[in-house]
A and B are shown apart, each in its own frame.
Chain A
Amino acid sequence: MKLSFRLNGAKRNDDIEPNQTLCDYLHDIAGTTGVKKGCDTGECGACTVLLDGMPVTSCLVLAPQVDGREVVTVEGLGKKSDPNPVQRAFVEHDAVQCGYCIPGMIVTLSWIREHAPEASDVEIKRLMSGNLCRCTGYQQQIDALKTAMGASSRSP
């Protein structure tokens, strides 16, 4: 079937088999390999992307569901030469160990920074509970997010 949607701002037209998840399509066909497949059951959040601006676990979305819609992966949030505030803060706070969960984590935390900029620690933890990290214990990532939130309030 025809699949036509915007990926990281660019129009894409593909002829695809409908029986695949958005996660597999993005990673294996579209080449946005920042989308990681972890549990494949919507528990771990490594495959998180933005669908029409909202975070979803792409392993629980069928590729044909995004026809006519807008998808942003970690690749669309910032570049090595121009990281977004959350990405920059992750480097500052050494918030990365093995790295597998990080692209999905960056997508979720970038959304929190934008949509819940006043979130308390408790609220941040509730909102990021769908992104599991088995290395760090989360504290560095929460610290990084708060730095990124502070940075955004200083420079509007």
Chain B
Amino acid sequence: MKSFQYLAPIPRFDYAAPRTFSDLFDILEVHGRGAAIIAGGTDLTIALKERTTSPKVVVDLRHLRGELGGISVARGTLRIGALATFSELETNPLVGRYANALREASANIGTLQIRTIATLGGNLATASPAADSAPPLIALGANVAVRSRSSERTVPVQDIFAGPKRNALQGGEVITAVEIPADAEVRSVWTRAAVRNENVLSAVSVAVAAKVHGRKFGPSRIALGAVAPTPILAETASEAMTGSRAAAEQAEKVAALAAEDARPISDIRASARYRKHLVHVLTRRLIMQVLSEAGMP
């Protein structure tokens, strides 16, 4: 079993830390599926120990930080480099201003010792249905910038998730950045339920991003984590909220729809039924928080 595997050394691999994208793409081309990319490494080292991956070569991105790091705003877009760590996201003022839900989730991921080294790009590439960065990014309408030797493309963040622990990257592609519309009028909040407060995977996580215009909600998006094979946009709930009256009764209606949008399974962290209940409660709580921050009764 897993614990027994830990007694044996990790199987051998070669290690490369390319200094240019050209060298990176050469390595990815030569080794194909035999290459594993390492950013922070908090997921990959576990996978190596558990033998869920056994690469021929581990490719370290750290010398490419010039292009894969940094957090900046330009032309109405908040750009977060793939190598930004959760500690950086937790403390960066631009993230606080334009992506509060992401800041909140980042401050709760793992532990201090994980957040200092785990990266946003790595969290997305691992593609866990419970990835806590995903609901904020989906709610905020973020895109993921992906690059290969010959092309660059951007995809909506939910489309980077292909299935549980399966990403939608093609061979030879790397995530370079996450791009979020930088609109300070968007209020975004995140919360989760888990068996402990810290150092634990979410049983359910929810993010809401919305504008409040006068007595109505403007464009609104609700996203859910750990209640489907991938993090999802709660489509019917988001549509129902957009343009509706900004009031407590509406929060209840939208939250009920979000619970219907969830397609959870039962596992060690929660039953399917309890997860739907949690989606309902947490979504309502977040919408009430948006209302209260907007000064609505």
Contact = CB atoms under 8 A, between A and B. Distances in A.
Contacts of B296: none
A130 B41 contact: no
Contacts of A43: 199
Interface size on A, as a range, is 20 to 34
A19 B117 CA distance: 19
A136 B112 CA distance: 21
Contact of A62 (B6, B58, B110, B112): B58
B117 A51 contact: yes
Interface size on B, as a range, is 20 to 34
A54 B88 CA distance: 12
A77 interface: no
Interface string A47-64: 010010011110111101
Nearest to A64: B15
Contacts of B173: none
A60 B6 contact: no
Nearest to B13: A19
A18 B113 contact: no
B239 interface: no
A128 B41 CA distance: 21
B126 interface: no
Nearest to B116: A54
Nearest to B108: A126
Given A42-B114, A59-B45, A65 B11 contact: no
A124 to B, nearest CB: 11
Contacts, number: 94
A19 B10 contact: yes
A55 B13 contact: no
B249 interface: no
Contacts of A67: 17
Interface in A71-123: 108, 111
Contacts of A130: 110-114, 198-199
Nearest to A125: B198
A51 to B, nearest CB: 7
B113 A57 contact: yes
B11 A19 contact: yes
Given A40-B49, A54-B117, A129 B199 contact: yes
B295 interface: no
Given A19-B13, A64-B60, A130-B111, 7 more contacts: A19-B10, A51-B116, A60-B41, A60-B117, A62-B45, A111-B112, A130-B114
18 contacts: A18-B58, A41-B46, A41-B49, A42-B46, A43-B199, A45-B113, A51-B116, A54-B117, A56-B113, A57-B111, A57-B114, A60-B45, A60-B114, A61-B45, A61-B117, A64-B58, A126-B198, A129-B199
